Amino acid sequence: MSIGSVETQFFYLNEPFLLDSGESFETLTLAYETYGTLNQDATNAILVFHALTGSQHAAGINQSVPGIDPLWTDECVLGWWDTFIGPGKALDTQRYFVICVNYLGGCYGSTGPRSTNPLTGKPYGSQFPQVSAWDVIRSQLRLLDHLGIQCLHAVIGGSMGGMLSILLATRCPERVQNVLPIATGLETTVLHRVHNFEQILAIRNDPKFQGGDYYEQAPPKDGLLLARIISHKTFVSLAIMEKRAKQEIRIKQPIGPFYELSNPIESYMFYQGKKFAERFDANSYLRIMDMWQRFSLNAQQPELFKDCAHQQYLIFSVDSDVCFYPEEQKVIVKALEAAQIDVTHITVHSDKGHDSFLLEPDLYAPYIHFVLG
């Protein structure tokens, strides 16, 4: 059962917001959506952190978001976690008040590089400041304050969203009861940095990137397309990639003066990249990628979980994941056990790789229901 039509809401912070970099915003905007009803004592809220290229639209149908065109494509209309959020689903909106926020630096309504710089009257572009993971957390805490939520019943996220879940739970333990990180880790690995670096170069070497100031011209879609192809290799298993690649060329067009798509795998990967390049902003991709490149909680062990004795953790691994390998979740579990924190570790058996947490709710829902109570 779907929750039906929803609309994005906007939180306006009309006071200076200081960033970790030392720069600041005079004002900022966060785009968010909520599902379900907040109870009288505001104790049933669940905060969902989206993945790298997700949005605030996690569930239901949202046909458009003001000011986002042309990025709000058909692919964005259905919530990215619609099979997980709703009546009777893993995050049951008959019991919980579920919140999802577009990250600071994103491109779906929160203050980001596409936003107007009040000092110039033009998009920030290359002038948009560096944003840290802690900046993202602090901005969302301001929204929670605005909503009257002092302590979350749970925080949950997959991939980069899982990293942010752990960061919030450990930096502000008094504000979180249950923590559910999925297919994630405590730090950016060497392999992540290599893949991310390839994507950064793909975008920055697109002639249309113009150093990040391209908003009055054609955007750097070729670079963004290539970046998505690079990343997509880590999202799905090779077996699933082969299954998804139809036995015909989906896109028959040259991709350069000397090359034409010639087999289903090439067509599938090119199609994935092309779709993505229509719905995302290159500058936002680079800013969020930079946040990921600099993320690390590993250095804080063994003190990382020292104030988290009251919390309960449910850690998910996916046995076929080659983006965040299961060994990375074992590091989290080991640290929690060393700190004597209540932790349950579930390894999901799936052939869908990293994308499993987006596609297979039945493999996760029973455990989520049990932990949330």
Could you say which of 57, 153, 192, 354 is catalytic? 354
Q: Kind of pairing, strands 45-49 and 152-158?
A: parallel
Question: What interhelical angle do 160-171 and 133-147 show, nearest 10?
Answer: 70
* Element (DSSP H or E) covering residue 288: helix 282-293
Pairwise CA distance, residues 309 & 336, whole Å:
10
In this structure, are residues 315 and 181 in contact, taking their beta carbons and an 8 Å threshold?
yes
Selection from 178, 134, 118 nearest residue 313 by Cα: 178
In this structure, are residues 187 and 361 in contact, taking their beta carbons and an 8 Å threshold?
no
In this structure, are residues 337 and 315 in contact, taking their beta carbons and an 8 Å threshold?
no
Where on the phi/psi map is residue 159: left (φ > 0), alpha (ψ -120 to 50), or beta?
left
- Tell whether 228 is in a known binding site: yes
Task: Judge whether 110 counts as a catalytic residue.
Answer: no
Distances (CA, A) of 139 to 16, 18, 20, 30, 31: 11, 10, 12, 8, 11
In this structure, are residues 350 and 362 in contact, taking their beta carbons and an 8 Å threshold?
no
Instruction: Tell me the torsion sign for CA atoms 89, 94, 96, 100.
Output: positive
Could you say which of 110, 115, 132, 159 is catalytic? 159
Distances (CA, A) of 73 to 30, 65, 131: 20, 10, 26
Pairwise CA distance, residues 234 & 198, whole Å:
13
DSSP 216-237: TS---HHHHHHHHHHHHTTTS-
- Tell whether 142 is in a known binding site: no
* Element (DSSP H or E) covering residue 191: helix 190-204
Task: Judge whether 153 counts as a catalytic residue.
Answer: no
Task: Judge whether 354 counts as a catalytic residue.
Answer: yes
Could you say which of 55, 321, 350, 356 is catalytic? 321
Helix intervals (H) in 2-87 = 74-77
Q: Which residues are annotated as a binding site for substrate?
A: 228, 355
Q: Which residues are annotated as a binding site?
A: 228, 355
Residues marked as catalytic = 159, 321, 354
